[in-house]
Every structure is written in structure tokens, then in C-alpha cells.
Amino acid sequence: MHPALIAIFSLIGAYLFWWLVGLRIMRKLHPRPIPWRWARFINNPLRRRAQNPSKTLGQMGFREGMRVLELGPGWGFLTLEAARRVGDSGRLYCLDIEPALIARLKQKTAKVGLENVALVMGNGECLPFASDSIDLAFLVAVLGEIPDKDAALKELNRVLCPGGVLSISELLPDPDYPLRRTTIAWARKAGFEPFQEFGNFFAYTVNFRKG
């Protein structure tokens, strides 16, 4: 093989190793939200093939009139479809810790005239919602970024109505991706029980009921 090709493949291999191994180890040791500028790269055609918004949200049990919390909406990859599903009689609350992403999402929802979306800047470990006030909460490729997962899941348990649903979806190659059994263990510790599972090792959704 030509030396130039060997060099190119070596660089590609080193990059993939860093992304799939090094970055994952670093972020598991120090979990935190991704830099907001990175969020734009998540909204891409490849992700839409692997985690289609309509299919993903269709697995969560949306109904018109629901009060729904989207924790960590980022650039709104799922927001417009989620707002459509709750309808005019429902309400979608989008909470993100990053002001720049809330501002970006405000522009996006205003552009299409959505009036059933409330944008909230806040921390998932201390939710600014009343107890028993949310019918469905969902997190997509978000839980692994939260430093105190126990606190966040307990807060989600608090704000969900009795019998409310928590839906968690994850996707590789997200560097914060947790195994399905890990996600289930975290949620059970906070008082949730799984009742539906979809997908495979690379992209999955688990639905939990509030205990």
C-alpha cells in the first residue's frame, strides 16, 4: 500500500479510536452537557435515518392534550414533531441548560408559528415544575450528559403524574451512550419500572411508568 494511504488510514483510525474510546471514557468520568456549538452536528441526515423523529416519538405514547416535557431539546431535532403530536390542546415544555440553544429553538418554533411550546432554561437536576404536573417526559441522547443522574431521575419522578410515562432513547455513536441495562438500572433506582422496549443495541427506546 502507498505510504500516503497508510498515513491517511492511520489518521482515520486514530480519530475513530479517540471518538469511540477516548472521548467516551473522558465523558463517563466527567459527564456534562456537550458544548452547545456541537449540537448542530446532531441534527443531520444520518441521525434521521437511525433515529427518525416520527418513529422515535411514535414509540413513546404521545396523545393529543398531553402535558409533555422534553428534557434537553438541543437544536430541536424532535421538538416540532413532538409539538404536532400534543396538538393545540396540549403543551410541550422544552427545558435546556444552555441559553444559546433556548434562543435558537425560540427562533425555530416562532418560524413555524407554534403556540403550544414553552421554552424553559433550567437544570434537569432541579426541575421548575410542580409535582404531578407532567403526563410524559422524554430524553433522547441526554441522560448520559447529566452529572447527577439520580437527582435528575428523582426530579422526573416527582413532576410526572401518577402513572405518567418517562421515555429514554439512546443512540450510538453518541459518546455518552449508556447500555440499555444501565439505563434501566438508573431509572429503577429512582422509582420507575420499564414496561416497553424498542430498537436494538445501537438505537433503543425504553418506556417507564412512575411507581
Q: Where are the domains of the chain?
A: 31-210
**DSSP notation for 111-159:** HTT--SEEEEE-BTTB--S-TT-EEEEEEES-GGG-S-HHHHHHHHHHH
Looking at residue 74, the DSSP 8-state letter turns out to be T
pLDDT digits (tens, 9 = 90+) for 120-161: 999 999 999 999 999 999 999 999 999 999 999 999 999 999
Q: Would you state the pLDDT for residue 172?
A: 85
What CA–CA distance (Å, rounded) separates 95 from 127? 9
Give me the amino acid identity at 51: Q
pLDDT at 39 (0 to 100): 54
Q: Give the integer Cα–Cα distance in Å for 61 and 3.
A: 54
Q: State the pLDDT at residue 60.
A: 96
The 8-class DSSP code of residue 63 comes to: -
In this predicted structure, the answer to whether residue 27 has a pLDDT above a threshold of 80 is: no
Whether the bond between 99 and the residue before it is cis, its omega within 30 degrees of 0, is no
Residue 29 has pLDDT above 80, yes or no: no
Provide the percentage of residues in the chain whose pLDDT is more than 70.
76
CA gap 165, 155 in Å, rounded: 13
- pLDDT tens-digit readout, 51-93: 788 999 999 999 999 999 999 998 888 999 999 999 999 999 9
Q: What is the CATH number of domain 31-210?
A: 3.40.50.150
pLDDT reading at 42 higher than 90: no
All three cell numbers of 25, joined, read 471514557
Measured between alpha carbons, how far is 82 from 85 in angstroms, rounded to an integer? 5
* Confidence band for 21, pLDDT divided at 50, 70 and 90: low
Answer yes or no: are the C-beta atoms of 205 and 168 closer than 8 Å.
yes
Instruction: Tell me how far CA of residue 211 lies from CA of 23, 36, 63, 125, 165, in angstroms.
Output: 35, 34, 21, 19, 10
| Banded model confidence at residue 176, pLDDT cuts 50, 70, 90 | confident
- pLDDT on residue 75: 84
pLDDT above 60 for 20:
no
Better-scored residue on pLDDT, 34 or 63: 63
